[in-house]
Amino acid sequence: EVQVVESGGGLVKPGRPLRLSCTASGFMFGDYAMSWFRQAPGKGLEWVGFIRSKAHGGTTEYAASVKGRFAISRDDSKSIAYLQMNSLKIEDTAVYYCTDGTYGHWGQGTLVTVSS
Amino acid sequence: DIVMTQTPLSLSVTPGQSASISCRSSQSLLHSDGNTFVYWYLQRPGQSPQLLLYDVSSRFSGVPDRFSGSGSGTDFTLRISRVEAADVGVYYCMQGIELPTFGQGTTVEIK
């Protein structure tokens, strides 16, 4: 059974960093891209970014709202994808979800609250 | 960015009746490989989004055949037959031909 589990959320002050983890199981992690999405309180879904598989260069793409501040990486040996969030802003407050490359398997999400 | 526009934004449905949600994209979602990268999600209250359909009309694992999708180019429709109480939530369309973008969401409630 495919599972993805996000972790690492919490309360953080504006301007500070935070790293989220997405631990996957049940599929050949290294063969797939991994994506991050978010949902601000009471709002719709927003794509944050993704990282391609190593076979496709392991390169990343980001939404304009986070480009230059967020970075996605992966550790295929541990089946974990990371979302490093720097220079956090109040408007980054959201539940963050990760998905596999099919966009079909979502975790339960992890809440990031940016507040002074 | 490709803009996805959903209509209606809210829908009230009698159990057992059908419902349709439309999604229009600002440019064609037909890829040169012949696939059309349109996804439909349901987010039940307090839950994560769950994938219902991909590639316009393919049902994801475990999704009942009451859910169906159609459309091409820039116009797509999700149809729910024989609506049940468990279908309540917010439905989103998403395009995957470029960097993903979502529609605004359609809230479905039961009458």
Q: What's at B28, amino acid-wise?
A: S
Question: Does the beta-carbon distance from A103 to B61 stay under 8 Å?
Answer: no
DSSP string, B17-78: S-EEEEEEESS--B-TTS-B-EEEEEE-TTS--EEEEETTTEEPTT--TTEEEEEETTEEEE
User: What separation in angstroms does the CA of A16 have from each of A85, A89, A112, A113?
Assistant: 8, 9, 12, 11
Angstroms from B80 CA to nearest CA on chain A: 19
Rounded Cα distance between B78 and A15, Å, is 41
- Looking at chain B, the whole-number percentage of residues with pLDDT higher than 90 is 99
Residue with token string 């927003």? A46
Rounded Cα distance between A47 and B9, Å, is 20
User: Residue B9: what pLDDT?
Assistant: 98
Signed CA dihedral, B58, B63, B69, B74: sign only: negative
Radius of gyration in angstroms for the set of CA atoms belonging to chain A, rounded to a whole number = 13
pLDDT in tens, A58-68: 999 999 999 99
Q: Which of residues 56-115 of A touch B (CB under 8 A)?
A: 61, 63-64, 97, 102-109
Q: Which residues contact B54 (CB under 8 A, 6 or more apart)?
A: A102, A103, A104, B38, B39, B60
What pLDDT band is residue A23 in, cutting at 50, 70 and 90?
very high
Is pLDDT of B99 > 90? yes
